[in-house]
């Protein structure tokens, strides 16, 4: 699936691989993905720049809730996004 979080990039997940086009180039990172129930997933990965990220992906409602590190990983910011493509 792909989602847009309102920032200057999108995240695309293909199985357990996250692909992002960022100003410094193309990033590809391994993602741990767990299905919590039908259409609801928990995803986490270690971002090369930001550290540990976690997301709840609700395919049915086309939403993403993400927790991202801030302030040198001493805090957490919650952001939301809309799924733009689900691969179905």
CATH assignment, 2-85: 2.40.128
pLDDT digits (tens, 9 = 90+) for 60-87: 998 989 888 887 767 888 888 888 776 6
Query: In the chain, what are the domain boundaries?
Result: 2-85
Distance (Å, rounded) from C-alpha 51 to C-alpha 68? 8
What pLDDT score was predicted for residue 84? 76
pLDDT digits (tens, 9 = 90+) for 6-65: 555 567 777 788 887 777 788 888 989 899 999 999 999 887 777 888 999 999 998 989
Provide the whole-model pTM: 0.72
């Amino acid at each position: 699936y792909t989602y847009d979080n309102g920032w200057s990039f999108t995240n695309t997940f293909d199985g357990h691989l996250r692909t992002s086009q960022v100003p410094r180039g193309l990033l590809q990172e391994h993602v741990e993905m767990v299905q919590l129930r039908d259409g609801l997933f928990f995803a986490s990965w270690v971002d090369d720049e930001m550290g540990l990220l976690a997301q709840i992906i609700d395919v049915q409602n086309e939403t993403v809730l993400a927790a991202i590190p801030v302030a040198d990983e001493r805090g957490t910011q919650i952001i939301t996004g809309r799924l733009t493509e689900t691969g179905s």
